[in-house]
Amino acid sequence: MGTRIKETSDLDLIELSGKWVYRSPEKGDPLKVNGQSYKVKEGVYNTPSGLDYMIVENVATGEISMVFQGTQGFQDMVTDGTLPGAVPDAQLKDAEAAFESMSKKYDITNVSGNSLGGGLSNYVATKHDVNSVTYNPAILPEGSYNTNNPRITNYMSEYDPLTLGERSAGYMSRLPGNNVILHNNMPWMETMISNHVGYDDDVVINGQKIQVDADAYLPVGVWSGEILSGSKGQKIDINPENMRILATTLSTRMNGQVKTAQTYLDGAVDIVNQEGAKLDDRQTTLRQSFDDLLQKNSFGGVLVFVWQYEALRNQLEEINPVTMTALDVVQKIRTTPVISEILDFVSTSAFSGVLGWLFEIPLLVGDTLLKLDEIVDRVSNLKNNAIPKLFNGITNDFFNDAMIAELKAHYNVIDSNKDIVTNQIVTFSAQVKYVSDEIEKADKLLTATERVEKAGPPPVTSKFSLEESSALKDGMGKKQLLLDENFKEFASATSMSLKPALASLRSTMNQLYGILKDALITLRNIRSALGFVKIPFTDFDNNIKADLDDIIAAMNQWKVMLKGVKTAVKDLEGNLDNVLNAYRPYIDTALFEGTKFHDVILLNKASYNAFESAEMVFQDIQYQLDGNKAQAVTALDGLANQVVANLEVLLDQIKRGSINI
Residue 100, in any domain of the structure: yes
The pLDDT score that the predictor gives to residue 489 is 96
Chain length of the chain? 661
| Structural contact between residues 48 and 94, judged by C-beta atoms closer than 8 angstroms | no
306 pLDDT higher than 50: no
Listed residue (369, 355, 330, 291) closest to 593, CA to CA: 291
The pLDDT score that the predictor gives to residue 85 is 43
Asked if residue 598 and residue 515 are part of one domain, the reply reads no
Q: What is the Cα–Cα distance from 130 to 132, expressed in whole angstroms?
A: 7
Asked if residue 599 and residue 622 are part of one domain, the reply reads yes
CA atoms lying within 13 Å on the CB side of residue 96: 13
Residue 213, in any domain of the structure: no
Q: Exposed, middle or buried by CB within 10 Å (0-12, 13-18, 19+), for 409?
A: middle
Asked if residue 408 and residue 388 are part of one domain, the reply reads no
Q: How confident is the model at residue 114 (pLDDT cuts 50, 70, 90)?
A: very high
Q: How confident is the model at residue 332 (pLDDT cuts 50, 70, 90)?
A: confident
Q: What is the Cα–Cα distance from 161 to 157, expressed in whole angstroms?
A: 9
- 585, 611, 627: which is the final residue of a domain? 585
CA trace torsion 152, 156, 160, 162 (10° rounding): 30
User: For residue range 95-104, what is the model confidence (pLDDT) as tens digits?
Assistant: 999 999 999 9
Whole-angstrom CA distances from 301 to 306, 343, 614 are 8, 52, 35
Residue 567, in any domain of the structure: yes
Number of domains in the chain: 3
Residue 228, in any domain of the structure: no
User: For residue range 104-113, what is the model confidence (pLDDT) as tens digits?
Assistant: 999 999 999 9
Radius of gyration for the alpha carbons in the chain, expressed in angstroms and rounded: 30
Asked if residue 607 and residue 478 are part of one domain, the reply reads yes
DSSP 488-552: HHHHHHHHHHHHHHHHHHHHHHHHHHHHHHHHHHHHHHHHHHHTT---TT-SHHHHHHHHHHHHH
User: For residue range 444-481, what is the model confidence (pLDDT) as tens digits?
Assistant: 778 888 888 888 899 988 899 999 999 999 999 999 99
Strand-pairing partners, residue 30, are 39
Asked if residue 389 and residue 523 are part of one domain, the reply reads yes
Counting residues of the chain whose pLDDT is more than 90, the rounded percentage is 61
Whole-angstrom CA distances from 290 to 286, 497, 590, 592, 593 are 6, 17, 10, 11, 11
Asked if residue 154 and residue 39 are part of one domain, the reply reads yes
The pLDDT score that the predictor gives to residue 294 is 62
Local structure of 65: helix, strand or coil: strand
Instruction: Name the strands in the sheet holding 108-115, side by side, starting at the edge strand that comes first in the sequence.
Output: 30-33, 36-44, 53-58, 64-68, 108-115, 131-137, 152-157, 178-182
Q: What is the Cα–Cα distance from 658 to 602, expressed in whole angstroms?
A: 9
**Domain of 532, in residue numbers:** 290-393+496-585
561 pLDDT higher than 70: yes
Average pLDDT value over all residues in the chain: 88
Asked if residue 171 and residue 84 are part of one domain, the reply reads yes
Residue 226, in any domain of the structure: no
Long-range contacts made by residues 528-537, C-beta under 8 angstroms, separation at least 24?
528/345, 529/342, 529/345, 529/346, 530/333, 530/342, 532/341, 532/342, 532/345, 533/338, 533/341, 533/342, 535/338
Q: How confident is the model at residue 313 (pLDDT cuts 50, 70, 90)?
A: confident
Element of type H or E holding 79: helix 74-79
What CATH number did the domain enclosing 127 receive?
3.40.50.1820
Asked if residue 382 and residue 356 are part of one domain, the reply reads yes
The DSSP secondary-structure symbol of 337 reads G
Listed residue (497, 496, 509) closest to 370, CA to CA: 509
The bridge status of strand 152-157 relative to strand 178-182 is parallel
Residue 489, in any domain of the structure: no
Q: What mean pLDDT do residues 564-584 have?
A: 88
Q: What is the Cα–Cα distance from 420 to 400, expressed in whole angstroms?
A: 30
| Structural contact between residues 142 and 84, judged by C-beta atoms closer than 8 angstroms | yes
The bridge status of strand 108-115 relative to strand 30-33 is unpaired
Q: What is the Cα–Cα distance from 499 to 577, expressed in whole angstroms?
A: 10
Asked if residue 248 and residue 299 are part of one domain, the reply reads no
Asked if residue 67 and residue 16 are part of one domain, the reply reads yes
Asked if residue 66 and residue 191 are part of one domain, the reply reads yes
Q: What is the Cα–Cα distance from 584 to 568, expressed in whole angstroms?
A: 21
DSSP 134-190: EEEEPPPPSS---TT-TTEEEEEETT-HHHHHHHHTT-GGGS-SEEEEE------GG
Question: Cβ atoms within 10 A of the Cβ of 77, count?
Answer: 26
Residue 216, in any domain of the structure: no
Q: What is the Cα–Cα distance from 359 to 588, expressed in whole angstroms?
A: 48
Listed residue (413, 398, 188, 409) closest to 279, CA to CA: 398
Asked if residue 135 and residue 41 are part of one domain, the reply reads yes
Kindly give the residue spans of alpha helices, DSSP state H, lying in 188-298.
192-197, 240-249, 255-275, 286-293
340 pLDDT higher than 60: no
The pLDDT score that the predictor gives to residue 132 is 98
Residue 491, in any domain of the structure: no
Question: Cβ atoms within 10 A of the Cβ of 350, count?
Answer: 17
Q: What is the Cα–Cα distance from 98 to 90, expressed in whole angstroms?
A: 12
12 pLDDT higher than 60: yes
- 585, 620, 638: which is the final residue of a domain? 585
Counting residues of the chain whose pLDDT is more than 70, the rounded percentage is 89
Kindly give the residue spans of alpha helices, DSSP state H, lying in 337-400.
348-385, 387-390
Q: What is the Cα–Cα distance from 108 to 56, expressed in whole angstroms?
A: 9
CA atoms lying within 13 Å on the CB side of residue 223: 20
The DSSP secondary-structure symbol of 217 reads S
Q: What mean pLDDT do residues 109-128 have?
A: 96
Q: What is the Cα–Cα distance from 390 to 482, expressed in whole angstroms?
A: 9
CA trace torsion 526, 531, 535, 536 (10° rounding): 170
- 542, 559, 585: which is the final residue of a domain? 585
Listed residue (115, 114, 145) closest to 127, CA to CA: 145
Does this model's pTM top 0.85? My answer is yes
Q: Exposed, middle or buried by CB within 10 Å (0-12, 13-18, 19+), for 369?
A: middle
User: For residue range 351-371, what is the model confidence (pLDDT) as tens digits?
Assistant: 778 888 999 999 999 999 999
Q: What is the Cα–Cα distance from 328 to 335, expressed in whole angstroms?
A: 11
